[in-house]
Amino acid sequence: MTGYGRATAALGELTLTVQVDSVNRRGLDLSQNLPDEWQAFEPAVGEAVRKVALRGKVHVAVEVTGKNNTGPAWDGAALSATLKQLEKVAKARKVAFTPTTDLLWQIASAQRTSSKLPADEATGKVLLKALGMALRGLAVMRAKEGEALLVDFLGRWEKLHAGTEAIALRAPQISGTYREQLMQRLRQAGLELDINDDRVLKEVALFADRSDITEEITRLRHHLTQLKDLLRAEGEIGRKAEFILQEIGREIHTIGSKANDLQLSQRVIEFKNELERVKEQIANVE
């Protein structure tokens, strides 16, 4: 699920800013961008995020600004010494040496020094407090998206429920349709058999037994009821919903395989299409 949260906190004369954003991802993919001095805080940051987000590509970015955090300081003497050494090497090899801005930047970046940030326990508490505020903002945004998804899921559930009932309504008519088609094929082949002929009745009975989907419809209705109850439940529902959808898919596939009927096959295809849309959305829900 998508979301964004931002918070700031005072750290002495410095200002600490925490930004957390997330986009859809089936599992939790957490990345952190903390100052080098604060790498030891990464496990605590990860633990705090996992209490709020179990799915999604989540990125935590921390920035520190203020007059005591003046950024990198360039060592001019070291830079000059390095350039002279490079010039000496180039001259010895009879190679023209003309320093470029890119070369100057690379040397300066390699030799720069940065002001150190405090990394004690008190600093960690300030960081985690700001992170907590940012995560609350993230959670609020994700909750709003969740409400919108719930409305969408319930609408799609109604379509799945209607599809199930349409299949259940068609099921009893399949054997009768098959019997009519069988008699028509026999007449076309020049075989005039009575509809009550034992051979016809046996064939129709065998077909009815092979194409009986009563149990599948019963289980399908049960799984749909489970899904609806789960959608209205509190807490984590994503993985359990995925399991129920998998079972629904199994039942509808069996129905499509057993029922040799054009109308029912069309309804099964429509059901599967809607089911795939639900699966795609539920993969982003915690």
Would you call 40 helix, strand, or coil by DSSP? helix
Token duo for residue 71: 């950024």
pLDDT the model gives residue 28: 87
Hey, what amino acid is at 158?
Answer: E
pLDDT at 128 over 90: yes
pLDDT the model gives residue 205: 59
User: Shortest CA distance to 63 belongs to which of 19, 31, 121?
Assistant: 19
Q: Across residues 7-25, what is the average pLDDT? A: 90
User: Shortest CA distance to 229 belongs to which of 141, 176, 153, 163?
Assistant: 153
Cα 172 to Cα 117: distance, rounded to the nearest angstrom: 76
pLDDT, one tens digit per residue, over 230-239 is 988 877 788 8
Cα 209 to Cα 204: distance, rounded to the nearest angstrom: 9
Stronger pLDDT, 124 or 69, i.e. the higher one: 124
Residue 20 neighbours by CB distance under 10 Å: 28
pLDDT at 264 over 60: yes
pLDDT the model gives residue 232: 83
pLDDT, one tens digit per residue, over 141-199 is 888 888 888 888 899 999 999 999 998 888 777 765 655 665 566 556 555 555 565 66
pLDDT band at 117 (very low <50, low <70, confident <90, very high): confident
pLDDT the model gives residue 125: 93
Would you call 69 helix, strand, or coil by DSSP? coil
% the chain with pLDDT above 70: 81
Domain edges within the chain: 3-70+121-139, 72-114, 142-282
pLDDT the model gives residue 66: 77
What lies within 8 Å, CB to CB, of 256 at 6+ separation is: 264, 265, 268, 269, 272
pLDDT the model gives residue 272: 94
pLDDT the model gives residue 24: 81
pLDDT at 207 over 60: no
Q: DSSP class of residue 67?
A: T
Note whether 131 and 20 are within 8 A (CB): yes
pLDDT band at 70 (very low <50, low <70, confident <90, very high): very low
What lies within 8 Å, CB to CB, of 252 at 6+ separation is: 216, 220, 268, 271, 272, 275
Decide the pairing of beta strands 28-33 and 56-66: parallel
The average confidence (pLDDT) of the chain is 82
Burial classification of residue 22, based on how many CB atoms lie within 10 Å of its CB (0-12 exposed, 13-18 middle, 19 or more buried): buried
Domain 3-70+121-139: give its CATH code. 3.30.230.10
Note whether 146 and 66 are within 8 A (CB): no
Token duo for residue 52: 């709020």
Token duo for residue 98: 């003309």
Token duo for residue 86: 């490079």
Q: Across residues 271-275, what is the average pLDDT? A: 94
Residue 69 neighbours by CB distance under 10 Å: 19
Note whether 137 and 53 are within 8 A (CB): no
pLDDT, one tens digit per residue, over 78-115 is 778 888 888 888 888 888 888 888 787 777 766 655 55
